[in-house]
Amino acid sequence: MSRIMVFVNPSSRIVEVKHFKPHLLPADSKQRGIYVEESQLPPEPLLQSGKAALLRLKEGVTVQPGKDGYQEVSGSDFEYVLVDRPATPEESLQTALAAIMERLDTIDQRLAVMEQSKATG
């Protein structure tokens, strides 16, 4: 198990930075960070188009000084929240392609109906 240090925005409680080698940080930076066991953090949710998963410190969680004097919390004190984000160029292309394919299917269906009515009419 490895302890990492996270830096949380005090107003939004969103984790802004994860530092995987906190022992390399200067002491003043460590004072602002929070130690947490990486393996205890919740699993990242599946990504959705137009959404971003942000790690957040749960409401009501108070951060306590750890055994080395630095702040420490349990990984279960964090959660992921999904927030809207602009679509990437690839996602935009996929959405456009899906719309085009749907239109083509509709046109194919209409043509089939027209050909069938022509054959029977």
Regarding pTM above 0.75, the answer is no
pLDDT in tens, 97-115: 999 999 999 999 999 999 8
pLDDT in tens, 27-76: 888 888 888 888 999 999 998 888 899 999 998 887 766 666 667 788 88
Upper half-sphere CA count for residue 112 (Cβ side, 13 Å) = 6
Q: Which two tokens stand for residue 53?
A: 């998963």
**E strands within 9-108?**
15-19, 34-37, 51-57, 64-65, 71-72, 78-84
Residue 25's pLDDT band (cuts 50, 70, 90): confident
pLDDT reported for residue 120:
82
* C-alpha distances out from residue 22 to 28, 32, 54, 76, 77, Å: 12, 12, 21, 20, 20
Q: Phi/psi at 107 (nearest 5 deg)?
A: -65, -45
Backbone dihedral region of 13: left (phi > 0), alpha (psi from -120 to 50 degrees) or beta?
left
Whether 77 has a pLDDT exceeding 80, the answer reads yes
